[in-house]
Amino acid sequence: MRILVSAVALSCLVGLPCSAQTILKSEPLMLAPYEVAFVKDVSCPSGKVLKVTGAIRGLHRRRACVALAGEQASLATATP
């Protein structure tokens, strides 16, 4: 078990930072409860992205415009 934990920690140090977030082009259709997705959206002002948080059944997703630090945001964009 310790080997697995150390391998994951080492891969985070060697590869991309673990805290880096991918900014999506559109909001994903499926989002697990409390899962967070960052979306490049025109409704947010310049320099900010839409933070979408998944919700449990019967509740609405939370959406808020937030500013991401340069170290936290990834320049690569993923397509859902």
What tokens were used for 28? 């994903």
Residue 4: pLDDT band (50, 70, 90) is: low
Closest CA to 67 of 43, 35, 25, 38: 38
DSSP 11-54: HHHHSS-TT-EEEESS--S---TT-EEEE--TTSPTT-EEEEE-
Tokens 């409390």 correspond to: 34
| pLDDT tens digits, one per residue of 30-77 | 999 999 999 998 999 988 999 999 999 989 999 999 998 764 555 454
More confident residue, 16 or 73: 73
Whether the pTM exceeds 0.75: the reply is no
What tokens were used for 1? 């078990």
